[in-house]
Structure 1
Amino acid sequence: MKLQPAPPVDADARKQAVARVKAQKAAQQETMDDAWARVFATKLSDADRAKLQAVKQAMDAGKLGRLPEKAGKRFSKAEAMALHKALIEMDREATLQELVANKPSNYHMVRNQRELDRMVALTLKEPVIGLDTETTGLDVYADVIVGISLTLPTADLHFYVPFGHTERTELDATAVLKTLAPIVISETVGKVLHNAKYDMHMFRRHGYELAGVVWDTQEAMQLLNENEPSMALKNLATKYLHEPSDTFSELFGKDAKFAEIPLDVATVYAAKDTHLTWRLYEFQRKHFAKIPSVQRYFESVEVPLLYAVLDMERNGFVIDLEFAKTYGTEMKARIDEEEVALVAEIGAGVTDFNINSPHQLKPALERITKRKLESTDAKKVLKPLSGEFPVIKRLLDYKADVKLYSTYISKLPELVHPKTGRLHTQFKQNGTVTGRFSSGGNGANLQNIPKSARKLFLAPEGYLIMGGDWSQQEVRALAHFTQEPTLLEAYATGRDIYASMASEVYGKPYEECGDGTFERKAMKVGVLSCMYGTGPATLAQQLGISKAEAELFIDDFFARLPKVKAWIEGNKKYAARHGFVWLDGEQRKRRLPDASGKTTGNWEQRGRTMRALRQATNAIIQGSSAIQTKVTLNALHKLCARKGWKLWATVHDEVLLLVPDTITDAEVDEFERVMLESYPFGDVPNKTDIELGRCWGEMKSRKEWFA
């Protein structure tokens, strides 16, 4: 019989098979004690460590075994966390019974009007209380409150008032909210909450304004440790109060509805929430006492800001659905047409070429450029080549259009809320570690929204969008902190700092280096890059120059601005010595623990240290700019209340309002004064550019509008 040759073995398949065999052998040789030691040696949050300990104890006791599908494989953290979910399911009923059996004697359910009146009378005697709402879901425009919990610290009592549960009491929502109104709307009864904005939303959803919020333990923790891996109440309680606390999904299951939870269980859970919030509040105040300037900032800026952000979120955005449909259809046709053309040009000769596959795109581009490419990364690899190869420029434009269409043009109309008819985003006032805003949630991320997508945003009938930004916000902050004469003089005389520096560097008249010129644009990129420690290689890519030219640019920049260089070096030394830097006026800290590490030895540690040292200046500039934005937003919120205007959005260094379309030029002066005078950086004058329009994507300058 003639033997057939064996089929060729794929090299990758062979490597994978060998790796599997090695992993199986390692798993067989490793004891469970060794495996646990390995898992516990990894970087773990306190909450995860507690979960893993529970799983290990259950396995040691024979209560849990390994997952059948993982038998023969190396034990991992992922498997242990999956086992924790199984353990929770096993223990859930027993846990709930134990929860009720061990209910503290000062946890009370309010079942009827008499008990509710008694609780209200006690509450009105309290200067500050803990407060929380339990709801049917997380949609603050459609879901409703089913119960309210209160902690009365002076009386040492904790109440839960259920009124929307499947298991009924004598109370209903109307009666409860009407009876609680004197507390809810009272400025004299202070309220402490965790994630206060959510509860403020829910009370407004029912027609009541939650007044007197004095503390939000979630936002406060952002100032005490902005590097905290989780700001969830249960995780913070476990870590700082040493009070192991199961999350809602762990106790009741992922799909559970709070309204369906038995009232005896719900009472303990809800009362414990406000009790933990109060204890966390006391813990935070104790630590804030060590940094009184930060506490003053938190109470005077961050807490009032909750009300401004609440209004911005609820105002929402009118989306031009008809334009989105037309624009989207045209854009999709253009994208499809361009894709066909690019596939024909870039993938010539390749069957079934997929232009969106990096694996196929990279060799195709290497054939065109006749160069070995590191990757198909748009910013690092393709953009520097786009000037030399027109097809790469077209490819980048195509990718930008695809992202614009898929992320915004086709998606924004789908995000319009069916109940309000508007798109609502979530503004997170401490969305970054430096205290800057971020936005998103179930709505659009306005911080990254391209100008083309802004055409979809309209002012409501009878209103205009009015926006103001801080001209050169970060460089003005730099001038204040460094007291660099060149910067101070430019701002004192009203000269554009980028045009002034471009005039010197490029040897051109100031008038020829104005807005829109290459020289000014290059100087703006260069100044910001030098401020934040960008290396010559990256700067060269950004400016389209050689690395040697970028090095000369950086050297020249610091030679012209010696105080800037000295200040940046001083920031690095301070961060290395203390592990943090202060933001303007010691109002906030930016903690950089890696900055105090070694700059020699292990390359990974060295990299973290160098990165943290560079972040020191970035944190001071951006964090201080964020403070300016927030203080001004609070002032604008008051102006809006007085004028009948509305806060609309904040995006980077810009604030936008909705104003009547009958607004006068003199009234715009009031807006401008608030922008300029609410928070100057020392003696450095602010400057703002104001625009107005009915569509965010088609705004006009103040002068053009009133002309």
Structure 2
Amino acid sequence: MTEWRDRFRILGVDTMTAGDFEGTGVDTYIDLSIGFSIWLPLLNEGYYLPYGHVDMRGELGFEFLTEQSAFKAGDPQLTRSKVIAAISPYLSRPNHGKTFHMGSARYDLHVAIKDGYEIGGCVWDTLDAMNLLNEHEESYGLKPLIAKYGRLFGIDGEIFTFEDLFGNRSPAPFNTELVGIYAINDVKYGWKLFEWQYEMMAQAPSADGKGRLLECYARIDSKLPETDVFLARCGFEIDLEGLAKLEAEFTQKLEEAKRAVIETYGIDAEFVRKMDRTINAKKVADWIAAQERKIARRDEAIAKLKASIAADEAAGKTHLKRYADAKTRLAELEAEVLVPADEKHAPLFTEEFSITNGNHLAYLIYDHLGIRDRTPQFKRGKTRSTAADVMEAYYAEEEALKPLATVAAYEKLLNTYVTKIPQALEADGRLHSEFKAGGTATGRYSSSGYSGRPIDILREFETEGDEPPWD
């Protein structure tokens, strides 16, 4: 606060450090922290405080552990309650700023809540910041970014990822020295990346020449991690009665919009036939070829039967059963009616138009209405797309597609919100979403529901010969 007075005032904090929790996993509601690491930039020192490592040697599924890498019962580590009591007053103070790296800020905030306190002053997430600085990075992981940009802020040499050291698993069974070396380097990398991002934003030019990118991050993005976690854990109360009324209203309007599509575009039997012949051209050709073969086989069989009958008659063998059978079979084949092998007589492979069928929609748009195909602008190497992003662009530009746009609007309202939200409520009757800044391809917010652990996780608690207590 003395040496860096007002350095980070724009973020609303008096100090800054980089922190990180190691945990039993990445589930924000179930997993627990096993240690905390922090980088103290003025001292240029990092520390790892371990308190939840466990001895898993000899346990099924932990054969990867070696004597050198494993945590052993009796190895020194700190006491969980004492560490939390020591670090929570600092971590909960909003005037002391913290940066958590590469999207883990929200995870760390969740972990602290499970440990009995709330982190304050979480004003930087290097993943959010990197998305704001450059939306075209090949990878936004901390280590790939350090490998790419580290030379600009004094970090050279090989960079090891979490997976390099521990694989896709918790670091809890590994010894505290190994995890500590990784964790301290992690917060060091996080701090260095934060400093560089901070300076890049401060220097970034803008249209008015005032360089307001840092101001934008400080006013908006710096508030997101804590806000997102609050929203996720608090959840949303849903007006189920109101949604039910909307479902009834929108369902009726959707049906009306679909009827309008049929009427506006003249979708009748002739339309369906033309569509069928276009989208099923190969099937029609295959049917014609198969029918030609069938007719040829019948004609060949008739010719052979006639020859056999004529031979028997010439030889005076009309009394034979062979002769009678040949006459009967000939009559059957000559009475058989085979439709001509041409497009006119080919069957319909599609008997009705469906607005949810991509092939049907493509025929309506590109063939019937003659809309210019601009798919390559959105999807390289693709043509005649009916994907949502392509269609949205068409709807904005093509007046002829207004009836389809109306259908799409009601389908999105129903399928994305009205009918889906009631099915996504948690046990407390609220909707809980995990929010992610820059989570979409366009850089917008994304959200996802908590999916819980797979049912296989229950096997971890079963013992041979015993039934699980929840049966």
Please give the TM-score of this superposition, normalised by the length of structure 1: 0.36
Q: CA deviation at 1:424?
A: 2.2
Which of 159, 179, 202 is 1:245 aligned to?
Answer: 159
Q: CA deviation at 1:285?
A: 5.2
Which of 205, 215, 230 is 1:297 aligned to?
Answer: 215
Q: CA deviation at 1:154?
A: 4.0
1:359 is the counterpart of 2:385: no
SS in 2 for 1:438: coil
1:438 is the counterpart of 2:444: yes
Residue 207 of structure 1 corresponds to which residue in structure 2? 116
The 3 A distance-change label for structure 1 pair 293 and 261 is same
Residue 421 of structure 1 corresponds to which residue in structure 2? 430
SS in 2 for 1:406: helix
1:402 is the counterpart of 2:320: no
Q: CA deviation at 1:233?
A: 1.4
CA distance in 1, matches of 2:133, 2:405: 42
Output aligned runs, 1:375-386, within 5 Å.
Answer: 375=384, 378-379=391-392
Output aligned runs, 1:612-627, within 5 Å.
Answer: none
Which of 266, 274, 286 is 2:179 aligned to?
Answer: 266
Asked whether the 8 Å contact 2:143–2:160 carries over to 1, the reply is yes
The 3 A distance-change label for structure 1 pair 326 and 285 is closer
Output aligned runs, 1:678-689, within 5 Å.
Answer: none
Q: Any unmatched runs of 5+ in structure 2?
A: 1-13, 56-72, 151-155, 205-209, 277-347, 374-383, 451-471
Residue 320 of structure 1 corresponds to which residue in structure 2? 239
The amino acid that maps onto 1:398 is V
CA distance in 2, matches of 1:420, 1:381: 39
Q: Which of the two has higher C-alpha Rg?
A: 2
1:404-438: CA deviations, max 9, x gaps? 3332233323443446833324152x6799xx983
Which of 245, 251, 272 is 1:347 aligned to?
Answer: 272
Which of 126, 134, 137 is 2:22 aligned to?
Answer: 134
Q: Give me the CA root mean square deviation.
A: 4.5
Asked whether the 8 Å contact 2:18–2:38 carries over to 1, the reply is yes
Q: CA deviation at 1:179?
A: 2.4
1:211-239: CA deviations, max 9, x gaps? 34464433444555454443321122111
SS in 1 for 2:39: strand
CA distance in 2, matches of 1:372, 1:286: 48
Asked whether the 8 Å contact 2:135–2:443 carries over to 1, the reply is no
The amino acid that maps onto 1:440 is S
Residue 35 of structure 2 corresponds to which residue in structure 1? 147
SS in 2 for 1:401: helix
The amino acid that maps onto 1:147 is G
Q: CA deviation at 1:316?
A: 3.0
The 3 A distance-change label for structure 1 pair 405 and 300 is closer
The 3 A distance-change label for structure 1 pair 319 and 258 is farther
Residue 47 of structure 2 corresponds to which residue in structure 1? 159
SS in 2 for 1:399: helix
1:471-530: CA deviations, max 9, x gaps? xxxxxxxxxxxxxxxxxxxxxxxxxxxxxxxxxxxxxxxxxxxxxxxxxxxxxxxxxxxx
The 3 A distance-change label for structure 1 pair 198 and 393 is same
SS in 2 for 1:236: helix
1:155-206: CA deviations, max 9, x gaps? 4432222333433665454332122222212456543322434423432343
Asked whether the 8 Å contact 2:234–2:432 carries over to 1, the reply is no
Asked whether the 8 Å contact 1:214–1:299 carries over to 2, the reply is no
The structure richer in helix per residue is: 1
1:280 is the counterpart of 2:280: no
Asked whether the 8 Å contact 1:128–1:190 carries over to 2, the reply is yes
SS in 1 for 2:433: coil
CA distance in 1, matches of 2:159, 2:47: 19
The amino acid that maps onto 1:238 is A
CA distance in 2, matches of 1:211, 1:262: 30
1:221-270: CA deviations, max 9, x gaps? 4555454443321122111114543433454334x234344544322222
The 3 A distance-change label for structure 1 pair 243 and 288 is farther
The 3 A distance-change label for structure 1 pair 382 and 427 is closer
1:234 is the counterpart of 2:112: no
The amino acid that maps onto 2:167 is G
CA distance in 1, matches of 2:365, 2:127: 49
Q: Any unmatched runs of 5+ in structure 1?
A: 1-125, 445-707
SS in 1 for 2:99: strand
Asked whether the 8 Å contact 1:362–1:373 carries over to 2, the reply is no
Asked whether the 8 Å contact 1:319–1:423 carries over to 2, the reply is no
CA distance in 2, matches of 1:284, 1:149: 21
CA distance in 2, matches of 1:172, 1:382: 61
Asked whether the 8 Å contact 1:415–1:442 carries over to 2, the reply is no
CA distance in 2, matches of 1:432, 1:442: 12
The amino acid that maps onto 1:259 is A
Q: CA deviation at 1:301?
A: 2.4
The 3 A distance-change label for structure 1 pair 394 and 283 is closer
CA distance in 1, matches of 2:95, 2:242: 49
Q: CA deviation at 1:276?
A: 1.1
CA distance in 2, matches of 1:188, 1:383: 47
CA distance in 1, matches of 2:411, 2:24: 37
Please give the TM-score of this superposition, normalised by the length of structure 2: 0.52
1:182 is the counterpart of 2:110: no
Higher relative contact order (CA 8 A, sep 6+): 2
Count of paired positions:
310
The 3 A distance-change label for structure 1 pair 338 and 235 is same
Residue 109 of structure 1 corresponds to which residue in structure 2? none
CA distance in 2, matches of 1:224, 1:378: 30
1:558-602: CA deviations, max 9, x gaps? xxxxxxxxxxxxxxxxxxxxxxxxxxxxxxxxxxxxxxxxxxxxx
- Paired-residue identity, %: 27
1:83-134: CA deviations, max 9, x gaps? xxxxxxxxxxxxxxxxxxxxxxxxxxxxxxxxxxxxxxxxxxx964321112
Asked whether the 8 Å contact 1:416–1:424 carries over to 2, the reply is no
Asked whether the 8 Å contact 1:141–1:420 carries over to 2, the reply is no
Asked whether the 8 Å contact 1:136–1:259 carries over to 2, the reply is yes
Asked whether the 8 Å contact 1:147–1:160 carries over to 2, the reply is yes
CA distance in 2, matches of 1:304, 1:227: 21
Asked whether the 8 Å contact 2:50–2:77 carries over to 1, the reply is no
Output aligned runs, 1:512-523, within 5 Å.
Answer: none
CA distance in 1, matches of 2:217, 2:398: 51
CA distance in 2, matches of 1:198, 1:151: 18
SS in 2 for 1:130: strand
Residue 106 of structure 1 corresponds to which residue in structure 2? none
1:368-427: CA deviations, max 9, x gaps? 65x57644664565777766xxxx655443333333333223332344344683332415
CA distance in 2, matches of 1:179, 1:431: 35
